[in-house]
Amino acid sequence: MFPHATLAITPFRIAHSPQEIADLNTLLRLSPFGPETYENGTARASNYGIDMHRMRSVRDAWLASDWHATQDRLNTMPQYIARVPDHDPRTGKRTTMDVHFLAYPSDRHGTVPVLLLHGWPGMGCFELQPMVEHLRLHSKRPLDIIIPSLPGYLYSSPPPTDREYDFEDVARLMHTFMLGLGYGAGYATQGGDLGSFVARVMACRYDQCKISHFNFMQLKLGTPAIAATPLEDPTDKAHVARWQKFQKTGMGYAMEHATRPATISFAVASSPLALLAWLGEKLLDSFTDMPLPTLLQWLTLFWLTHSFSTSIYMYRHLSACGDFTVAPTAAERADPTCRMKGLKIVGKKMGYSTFPGEIFPVPKAWAAKTGDMVFYRLNEKGGHFAGCETPELLGKDFAEFVNMAWPADEEKSKL
C-alpha cells in the first residue's frame, strides 16, 4: 500500500461499543431543551441561532438513528493510523502523534500525491471522502489521494497539553506525515476553512509542497494590497457585502473559540444537545439542504470521539496569522521557530474556487493578490462545506487545477 513509507502504518476500524451508544441516547433523552423564547421561535429561525423546532426534530431523529449501521459503512473505507514523529523547534520537545487518514493510492506510474485538508467543524477524513471519485474522474494524471483527520479530530491524536499548538505545528505535522508516506519528491494540497490556513503555511514553508488549491480565504480588508484594488463588478461587491454581514452577525462562535476555548469546551462537552446546538447551527446554515443522515453521522462522530474540545485550538491563532498578500521573507521561511508574517505563495502555482453560499467569498482580483493564481472558478451552487455538499464541483475544480499546474518535470521524475 505504501511501498516507500518510513512511518508505522496500521489499518484502522471504528469500534464504538453498544454501551457508548446507550449512554449517548440516555443523555439525549434526559438533557433539557430549556424554555421557549422569542429568539428560538420558528418564526425567527436562523436569525438568532438554531430554533427550538429544529432542535427537537433533530434530537428525535438522532435517537432513532442506527449508529452501528453507519459504523459498518464507514469501516468499508480504507482507514489507517500513521504514527508520526514530531519535533517542536520552539520548545525542543519531541512527541509522536497518531494521524487517522483515508488513502486511495493509484497503481499506475507517475502519480501525483494530493493531500485534502478539512477545517472546523470538520468531520475528519470522512468530510472530504466524497471528492475521491470526482478527482479520479476528471484528473488526467493518476493520483494518490490522502485525506487525514487533523490533530484533535476523530481518531487522530489531540494537540499536546503542555504547550501552544497552532497552524505552523499542524502544517509541520502534515508535511512530516506526507514525507513519511513516501512523498518526498513532492505533493499537492487542497484546503478549505482552517485547512486552507494549514495548506497555505505548507506552501510557503516547504519546497515539497509544489502546488496548492483553496476553497477558502480569510483576507484582511485593511491590508494595502486589498485597499489598492477597488472592485467594479456587482457580483464582487455582493460577495464582499455577504462577507461583511457574516463578520457582523455570524462570528460569535469564532470569538468564543478564540478567547474562551476552555469555557465553551466544558459547556459543549456536557451534553449532546449542546453539541447539536453549537455544531448544528453552523452545518445547517452552511449547507443548502443538508441531508439528515449526514448531520447525524457528523454529530455522532464528534460526540463519541470527544472532538469538540480538542478541535477548536487553531481559532486562538487566527488573528496572528500572516498577511496573505505579503510574501514571507527568506529568513522567515528558513527559520522554523518563527511565525511567518507574510503568507503569499511565491514561486508556486495556486488555485481558488468559491461558491455562492461561501461565508467569505473572495473576489478574483483579491484572491490573485495572494499568489500565482492560475486557476479560478466561481461555481453556480454550493457553500462553505463544498467538499461534502458539492464534491462533484470541488473535486472537478481541484483535478483541473492539478492537470494544469503540476510541474512537468515532477511528472517526468516519477515515470
Q: Label each residue of 45-63 as H, E or C.
A: CCCCCCCHHHHHHHHHHHH
Whether 283 and 295 have beta carbons less than 8 Å apart is answered as yes
User: What is the mean predicted confidence (pLDDT) over 298-310?
Assistant: 98
Backbone angles phi, psi at 159, to 5 degrees: -60, 155
Preceding omega of 121 cis (within 30 degrees of 0):
yes
Taking the domains of the chain in order of start, what are their residue ranges? 78-245+323-413
Backbone angles phi, psi at 189, to 5 degrees: -125, 150
Q: Which of 84, 93, 74, 71 minimizes the C-alpha distance to 157?
A: 84
pLDDT of residue 409: 64
Say if residue 220 is exposed, middle or buried (CB neighbours under 10 Å; 0-12, 13-18, 19+): middle
Rounded distance between C-alpha atoms, residue 127 and residue 141, angstroms? 24
Q: Which helix (H) or strand (E) holds 282?
A: helix 272-286
Question: Is pLDDT at 208 greater than 80 in this prediction?
Answer: yes
pLDDT of residue 205: 97
Dig out the grid coordinates for 102 from the structure: 483515508
Instruction: Name the residue with cell 499537492.
Output: 188
Question: Is pLDDT at 412 greater than 60 in this prediction?
Answer: no
Whether 277 and 50 have beta carbons less than 8 Å apart is answered as yes
The fold adopted by the segment(s) 78-245+323-413 is Rossmann fold (3.40.50)
pLDDT of residue 112: 98
Q: Is 193 a catalytic residue?
A: yes
Choosing from 98, 165, 384, 397, the catalytic residue is 384
Rounded distance between C-alpha atoms, residue 211 and residue 229, angstroms? 25
Dig out the grid coordinates for 256 from the structure: 468564543
Question: Is pLDDT at 410 greater than 80 in this prediction?
Answer: no
Say if residue 402 is exposed, middle or buried (CB neighbours under 10 Å; 0-12, 13-18, 19+): buried
pLDDT of residue 36: 95
Rounded distance between C-alpha atoms, residue 98 and residue 75, angstroms? 18
Backbone angles phi, psi at 210, to 5 degrees: -80, -40
Helix axis angle, 252-259 to 261-269, nearest 10°: 110
Q: Which of 243, 205, 192, 153 minimizes the C-alpha distance to 336?
A: 205
User: What is the mean predicted confidence (pLDDT) over 151-178?
Assistant: 98
Q: Is 144 a catalytic residue?
A: no
Share of residues in the chain with pLDDT > 90 (%): 87
Backbone angles phi, psi at 23, to 5 degrees: -65, -45
Rounded distance between C-alpha atoms, residue 274 and residue 324, angstroms? 35
Q: What is the DSSP string of 222-277?
A: TSHHHHTS----HHHHHHHHHHHHHHHHS-HHHHHHHH-HHHHHHHHHT-HHHHHH
User: What is the mean predicted confidence (pLDDT) over 21-38?
Assistant: 97
Q: What is the mean pLDDT of the chain?
A: 95
Rounded distance between C-alpha atoms, residue 9 and residue 84, angstroms? 9
Number of C-beta neighbours around residue 28 at 10 A: 17
Rounded distance between C-alpha atoms, residue 192 and residue 199, angstroms? 9
SS3 376: strand
User: What is the mean predicted confidence (pLDDT) over 125-133?
Assistant: 99
Choosing from 193, 236, 323, 397, the catalytic residue is 193
Rounded distance between C-alpha atoms, residue 157 and residue 152, angstroms? 6
Of 104-108, 188-192, 224-228, 269-273, the one with minimum mean pLDDT is 224-228
CA atoms within a 13 Å half-sphere pointing along the CA-CB vector of 68: 7
Dig out the grid coordinates for 343 from the structure: 503568507
Instruction: Name the residue with cell 468559491.
Output: 354
Give the pLDDT band (50/70/90) at residue 1. Answer: confident
Classify the C-alpha dihedral 137-141-147-150 as positive or negative: negative
- Residue 342 per-residue DSSP state: B
User: What is the mean predicted confidence (pLDDT) over 93-103?
Assistant: 98
Q: Is 285 a catalytic residue?
A: no
pLDDT of residue 415: 41
Choosing from 315, 317, 323, 376, the catalytic residue is 315
Number of C-beta neighbours around residue 39 at 10 A: 11
User: What is the mean predicted confidence (pLDDT) over 105-125?
Assistant: 96
